[in-house]
Amino acid sequence: MILCTSRSLPEKFAIFLLSAQCQSRSRDLFSKMADELRFDGRVVLVTGAGGGLGKEYALAFASRGASVVVNDLGGDAKGGGKNSAAADKVVEEIRSRGGKAVADYNSVEDGDKVVQTALDAFGRIDVLINNAGILRDRSFGRTSDVDWDLVHRVHLRGAFKVTRAAWPHMRKQKYGKIIMTSSTSGVLGNFGQANYSAAKMGLIGLSNTLSIEGTKYNVLSNAIVPTAASRLTEGILPPDVFEALKPEYIAPFVVYLCHESCLETGGVFEMAGGWGAQLRWHESAGAMLRKGGVTVTPEMVRDNWTKITDWSGPVKEKTREENMTDLMTKIEEANATVPESKSLSMKEKTKQHKIAESSYTYEAKDVILYALGVGVTVQEDSSHLKFLYEGGDDFSTLPTFGVIPAQVYCSKIPSISWTSVTLELLNKCYDYQILILTFDISFQQQVLQFIRFD
């Protein structure tokens, strides 16, 4: 999907010259200007705006009436050093063109300070472009803790810190536009950029969640995946490609995404050299292996792998909204293939599951008698003493003791007589045990009972 048809600056300049010569077109020009996406009264904070893409964003927003905070630490491409000159130069350029801008020299890691600069200078913050970035490329095996941490601190943690500082102000004023800068290295991976790609993918996740949490406050968040000539890509992109990928070609997309008329949120947009597109998640039709009430085994997964990864059928867009509904439909479908005797819908089962709670009190002697009753002895295994001797430190209840309260409970329900019972013990992930009892009642219904042992 092409996102935006905004003209690049040289094209606009051409329109001005043409219209000055041609009176009859002046009305067209006027309507074009009236149509211009403006940011008068808006405060835009661009991180890492001392050069490259950030600088272009700052210039573009300022040229459209925004008050701009030009944040830049002014370090080198690997994250070393600091210098106020980079941000100052951009501010100077904006002011010399009649725009409004202030510089901020803090690291994005000090998000509160960066946002405070916007509040102190302009009293609010409407648009936040998380753009600051560094590179510390290494093949994965050679990536040091420092390479990993520094890249994450600037890209992911930095974006988190600045956004979290801006968030309450945007929520309060019920207006905010946030951009997270991701990368094809995150979306597709890239040799030598494990640290960078992980952080860049994290930014997409962050943006997705902000879009969920922010929508009701009219705080919208999108991620961008730009490719442009800058100091970060110098030497990586071939010279002729480098020339065609001017950062100023990216700015119009970002400006549009942050305009009040653009209601996109939770999107990921890729752009390069004046081209733009939307990225989405898709999933194959997949395969439901749990049919006819069978248990899914790794062998079944192996035998169905071609189906699971088959993209020849209808491909579905993976949207957040439909994800859970989709899953429920699949589960319904799987349950519908269970033999008639067990084919209750999930809803019916859930209803049936709402059996009134009851409690059952038991003592040590009940537990010991049960253990003896089911044949527990110390002859076979001396550790079984814990089930038989209440004076021991590790005195325990045999987990299947859970059937006793369940039996007592079911015997109180006059219409129920069960034909079989299956037990499943869950004790791996809790500091207590859960026994799941599934009763087949007259081959027509199932009753699930969860028993918790503390």
Ligand X SMILES: NC(=O)c1ccc[n+]([C@@H]2O[C@H](COP(=O)([O-])OP(=O)(O)OC[C@H]3O[C@@H](n4cnc5c(N)ncnc54)[C@H](O)[C@@H]3O)[C@@H](O)[C@H]2O)c1
Report the C-alpha gap between 336 and 441 in whole angstroms: 19
Binding stretches for ligand X (CB under 6 A): 47-48, 50-54, 71-75, 77, 79, 86, 107-109, 131-134, 154, 158, 181, 183, 226-228, 230-233
Report the C-alpha gap between 21 and 2 in whole angstroms: 33
User: Shortest CA distance to 303 belongs to which of 287, 292, 321?
Assistant: 287
The least distance separating ligand X from the CB of residue 255, rounded to whole angstroms, comes to: 16
Report the C-alpha gap between 255 and 4 in whole angstroms: 10
Report the C-alpha gap between 320 and 169 in whole angstroms: 27
The least distance separating ligand X from the CB of residue 200, rounded to whole angstroms, comes to: 7
Which residue, 54 or 402, has its beta carbon nearer to ligand X? Answer: 54
Report the C-alpha gap between 224 and 425 in whole angstroms: 47
DSSP H helical ranges for 47-156: 52-63, 85-96, 111-122, 145-152
Which residue, 48 or 402, has its beta carbon nearer to ligand X? Answer: 48
Q: What angle do CA 82, 239, 152 make, to 5 degrees?
A: 35
Report the C-alpha gap between 56 and 271 in whole angstroms: 14
Is the Cβ–Cβ distance between 26 and 87 less than 8 Å? no
Which residue, 234 or 333, has its beta carbon nearer to ligand X? Answer: 234
Which residue, 231 or 320, has its beta carbon nearer to ligand X? Answer: 231
The least distance separating ligand X from the CB of residue 78, rounded to whole angstroms, comes to: 9
The least distance separating ligand X from the CB of residue 334, rounded to whole angstroms, comes to: 42
Nearest residue to the partner ligand X, using Cβ: 52
Is the Cβ–Cβ distance between 101 and 90 less than 8 Å? yes
The least distance separating ligand X from the CB of residue 165, rounded to whole angstroms, comes to: 13
Length in residues, the chain: 454
Which residue, 162 or 447, has its beta carbon nearer to ligand X? Answer: 162
Q: Which two tokens stand for residue 200?
A: 């860049």
Which residue, 71 or 265, has its beta carbon nearer to ligand X? Answer: 71
Handedness of CA 12, 16, 22, 28 (dihedral sign): positive
Is the Cβ–Cβ distance between 318 and 41 less than 8 Å? no
User: Among all residues, which ones are annotated catalytic?
Assistant: 196
Which residue, 267 or 402, has its beta carbon nearer to ligand X? Answer: 267
User: Shortest CA distance to 29 belongs to which of 46, 13, 53?
Assistant: 13
Task: Give the three-class secondary structure for 422.
Answer: strand
Beta bridge partners of 279: 268
Report the C-alpha gap between 230 and 198 in whole angstroms: 21
Report the C-alpha gap between 315 and 393 in whole angstroms: 59
Q: How many Cβ atoms sit within 10 Å of the Cβ of residue 163?
A: 25
The least distance separating ligand X from the CB of residue 99, rounded to whole angstroms, comes to: 19
Q: Which two tokens stand for residue 39?
A: 């940011």
The least distance separating ligand X from the CB of residue 208, rounded to whole angstroms, comes to: 18
The least distance separating ligand X from the CB of residue 140, rounded to whole angstroms, comes to: 18
The least distance separating ligand X from the CB of residue 173, rounded to whole angstroms, comes to: 25
Which residue, 43 or 53, has its beta carbon nearer to ligand X? Answer: 53
Is the Cβ–Cβ distance between 422 and 415 less than 8 Å? no
Q: Which residue has tokens 């909204």?
A: 321
For β-strands 282-283 and 268-272, DSSP reports them as unpaired
Task: Give the three-class secondary structure for 289.
Answer: coil
Handedness of CA 320, 323, 324, 329 (dihedral sign): positive
Which residue, 132 or 219, has its beta carbon nearer to ligand X? Answer: 132
